[in-house]
Amino acid sequence: MSVKRLSHAALTKILKGEVHKDATCIVKFYSNGCPYCKALSGYYEDIARDETYSDLHFFAFNVDDYPPIEKLLNFNGVPTISLIKASTANRKPKIRSMTDPDKPNKKTWYYSRDIKQFIEEENK
């Protein structure tokens, strides 16, 4: 599956539980001015195309479209990878975000293996 850009309106629907069916979404929060975010794009797209994760929905959200999102979802800075378990019936979704790595990748911030491990642990 490919990575789709997520609008503020669409993200709001996911966060409010205004979805047609239960879904697990992986969201990369990024900014156009972030060199880590740009470098991470290829790895993130590769993970999204991995058949292991074919039941997940991969999105990218530009924090410049809605800067308060960092405070709303309790993360600080980009890139940030979050897993959101959205459910129907307007229930509050389960939201988990990756913590900052102890030893970040000098080009991409996160390592691909760490993103995969995060997804597998949080999607149980």
Specify the number of domains making up the chain: 1
Residue 101 has pLDDT above 90, yes or no: yes
Sign of CA dihedral 13, 95, 124, 117: positive
Residue 119 has pLDDT above 90, yes or no: yes
pTM: 0.95
Give residue 1's pLDDT: 79
Q: Cα–Cα distance between 124 and 119 in angstroms, integer?
A: 9
Span 26-49, mean pLDDT?
97
Which CATH number belongs to the domain containing residue 71 in this structure? 3.40.30.10
Residue 20 · residue 87 · CB < 8 Å: no
User: Mean of the per-residue pLDDT values for the chain?
Assistant: 94
Residue numbers of the domain that contains 75: 4-122
Q: How confident is the model at residue 71 (pLDDT cuts 50, 70, 90)?
A: very high
